[in-house]
């Protein structure tokens, strides 16, 4: 049933997200197409296109969050909830489908932003940075990776991707928890206001706790030339070397689990669709 | 006769306000039962508890021997008072959606009913008239070969001709040996199709009897309703 729920979730959210990615695709095609025709220098129209593209791709992350919030609210806690909650699926499966869809769209939005930025940068590198700056970047960039083995670089990137993925999931369930809480009987009447209040309060608390832990607990991997070194205290760290912080990842996992079970409980026990 | 739905001492409160104060009854298979009572008497809360929309009730509910959950949802076809479809959906996508989730959903029957009802298959629900939307929801529910149909106020807010149409659709399309629990406050329209009536007053089940017994006593269901709720028309 999860597959069927996911299919329908992507149909529901894809209608709007598809429009955004369509616009981004058209802009990118225009920028690259016009560059292919005129390689001499960036035109004003191209510069405007690049600005709009990066602006849309950047705002898209925020836009994705809004769409996911609206979809969760409407499909579960509005009249459509009469259908969602009477489907022959477990409450956990219903929640999984929402979380997976949301995380996928968040990941796609970041990939599109990074991808568009990289493509535009590589195409117009000298025009964007200026010849001198670009030449400097070209000289110094490889020094960052100098001496690092390919395995080390790949592992570092993988750890960063997984860490980002975990944080995105945590943010998603945090939003869902806030919405679910705002739809309990006590807050239901002004659910929109309460959703915003809960998001702000929860974000503030989790932010404070994360900072507190992160500044007091040194735990992660130090990136060495060939491999990694486990860091469990500040004394273990070498100045100037790369560090993959695991404290924030673990904190995200703990918060994520808490919000997930909290949402599941509220959704199944406390919400009464009016 | 085999019991399909068994409700024992069902209680539900919203804060300090008790809407169901210990309701118990059993419903057999193959019957058409009217759940009657004025607005706000607890009918919808009872229905929501049976279909799994309310979980924080006291007492027990058994549907075909099981608590409300995934298995009971497979055999219950529920028509709520509200418009439960997403506004961007079309009749075609709504039919596909139901076919995806319910094994007992007869897609061909649904398409045939949509044609009979003259519903535009590719028109978005948000641009359809209220009557068209209601017809679509009704056909989605009645296209299932369910054991228990729970219809919450299907006749409310529509004219006499539409009421006859809705009732006719229900009677012609429900699965064989299935039970229909029909909640309404419009007694006159449904009296002729009911086998049994249950009346809820102030959160209590005050009447649970066969229609035949009422008529044998020389009364109509409407007469009894007026007696119970002391309504003088």
Burial A235-255 (b: 16+ CB within 10 A, else e): eeeeeeeeebbbbbbebbeeb
Q: Which residue has the higher pLDDT, B151 or A141?
A: B151
Contact with chain A for residue B77, Cβ under 8 A: no
Q: Could you read off the pLDDT of B194-210 as tens digits, one per residue?
A: 999 999 998 999 999 99
Cα separation, A11 vs A160, whole angstroms: 30
Beta-ladder partners of A42: none
Contact yes or no for A79 and B52 at CB 8 A = no
Q: For chain A, what's the residue count?
A: 274
pLDDT of residue A147: 66
Mean pLDDT for A41-66 is: 82
Contact yes or no for B97 and A82 at CB 8 A = no
Shortest distance between the Cα of B164 and any Cα of chain A, in A, equals 25
Shortest distance between the Cα of B211 and any Cα of chain A, in A, equals 30
Contact with chain B for residue A74, Cβ under 8 A: yes
Mean pLDDT for B86-101 is: 94
pLDDT over 70 for what percent of chain B?
97
Q: Which one of A74, A89, A273 has the shortest CB-CB distance to B53?
A: A273
pLDDT of residue A241: 64
Sign of the torsion angle spanned by Cα atoms A115, A167, A99, A155: positive
Q: Could you read off the pLDDT of A227-260 as tens digits, one per residue?
A: 677 777 777 666 656 677 788 888 889 999 999 9
The A residues from 162 to 181 touching B (CB cutoff 8 Å) are none
Torsion of CA A99, A186, A74, A268, to 10 degrees: 50
pLDDT of residue A186: 87
Backbone φ/ψ region at B65: left (φ over 0), alpha (ψ -120 to 50), beta: left
Q: What are the structural domains of chain B? A: 3-229 (3.40.50.300)
CA A218 to chain centre: 24
Shortest distance between the Cα of B215 and any Cα of chain A, in A, equals 36
Contact yes or no for A75 and B56 at CB 8 A = no
Query: pTM of the entire structure?
Result: 0.85
Asked whether the predicted pLDDT for residue A148 surpasses 90, the reply is: no
Asked whether the predicted pLDDT for residue A271 surpasses 70, the reply is: yes
Return the number of CB contacts < 8 Å for A and B.
59
Which chain A residues contact residue B56 at CB under 8 A? 269-270, 272
Mean pLDDT of chain A: 84
Type and span of the H or E element at A140: helix A131-145
pLDDT of residue A22: 92
Shortest distance between the Cα of B144 and any Cα of chain A, in A, equals 13
pLDDT of residue A39: 66
Contact yes or no for B133/B104 (Cβ under 8 A): no
Mean pLDDT for B36-60 is: 90
Return the half-sphere exposure (C-beta side, CA atoms, 13 A cut-off) of residue A199: 15
pLDDT of residue A224: 72
Q: How many helices and strands in chain B, by DSSP H and E?
A: 9, 9
């Amino acid at each position: 049933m999860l597959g069927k729920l996911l299919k329908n979730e992507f149909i529901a959210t894809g209608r709007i997200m598809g429009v955004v990615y369509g616009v981004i695709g058209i802009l990118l095609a225009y920028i690259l197409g016009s560059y292919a025709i005129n390689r001499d220098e960036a035109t004003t129209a191209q510069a405007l296109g690049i600005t709009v593209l990066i602006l849309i791709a950047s705002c898209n992350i925020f836009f994705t969050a809004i769409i996911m919030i609206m979809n969760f609210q409407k499909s579960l806690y509005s009249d459509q909830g009469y259908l969602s909650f009477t489907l022959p699926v477990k409450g956990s499966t219903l929640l999984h489908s929402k979380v997976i869809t949301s995380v996928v769209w968040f990941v796609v939005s970041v990939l599109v932003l990074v991808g568009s930025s990289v493509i535009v940068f590589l195409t117009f590198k000298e025009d964007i940075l200026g010849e001198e700056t670009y030449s400097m970047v070209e000289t110094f960039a490889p020094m960052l990776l100098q001496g690092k083995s390919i395995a080390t670089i790949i592992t570092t990137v993988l750890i960063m991707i997984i860490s980002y993925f975990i944080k995105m999931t945590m943010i998603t369930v945090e939003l869902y928890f806030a919405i679910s809480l705002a739809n309990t009987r006590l807050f239901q009447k002004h659910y929109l206001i309460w959703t915003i209040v809960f998001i702000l309060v929860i974000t503030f608390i989790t932010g404070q706790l994360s900072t507190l832990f992160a500044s007091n607990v040194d735990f992660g991997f130090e990136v060495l030339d060939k491999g990694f070194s486990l860091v469990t205290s500040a004394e273990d760290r070498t100045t100037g070397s790369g560090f993959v912080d695991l404290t924030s990842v673990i904190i995200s996992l703990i918060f994520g689990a808490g919000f997930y079970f909290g949402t599941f409980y509220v959704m199944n026990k406390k919400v009464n669709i009016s | 006769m085999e019991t399909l739905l068994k409700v024992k001492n069902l209680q539900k409160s919203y804060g300090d306000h008790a809407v169901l104060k210990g309701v118990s009854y059993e419903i057999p298979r193959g019957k058409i039962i009217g759940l009657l009572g004025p607005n706000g008497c607890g009918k919808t809360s009872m229905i929501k508890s049976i279909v799994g929309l309310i979980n924080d009730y006291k007492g027990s509910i058994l549907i075909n021997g099981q608590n409300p959950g995934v298995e009971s949802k497979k055999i219950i076809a529920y028509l709520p008072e509200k418009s439960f479809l997403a506004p961007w959906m079309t009749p075609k996508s709504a039919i596909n959606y139901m076919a995806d989730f319910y094994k007992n959903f007869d897609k061909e029957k649904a398409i045939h009913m949509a044609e009979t009802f003259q519903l535009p298959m590719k028109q978005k629900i948000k641009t359809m008239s209220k009557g068209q939307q209601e017809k679509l929801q009704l056909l989605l529910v009645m296209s299932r070969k369910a054991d228990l149909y729970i219809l919450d106020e299907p006749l409310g807010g529509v004219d006499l001709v539409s009421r006859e149409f809705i009732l006719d659709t229900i009677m012609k399309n429900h699965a064989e040996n299935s039970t229909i629990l029909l909640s309404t406050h419009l007694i006159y329209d449904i009296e002729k199709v009911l086998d049994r009536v249950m009346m809820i007053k102030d959160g209590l089940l005050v009447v649970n009897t066969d229609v035949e017994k009422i008529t044998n006593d020389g009364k109509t269901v409407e007469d009894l309703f007026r007696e119970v709720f002391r309504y003088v028309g």
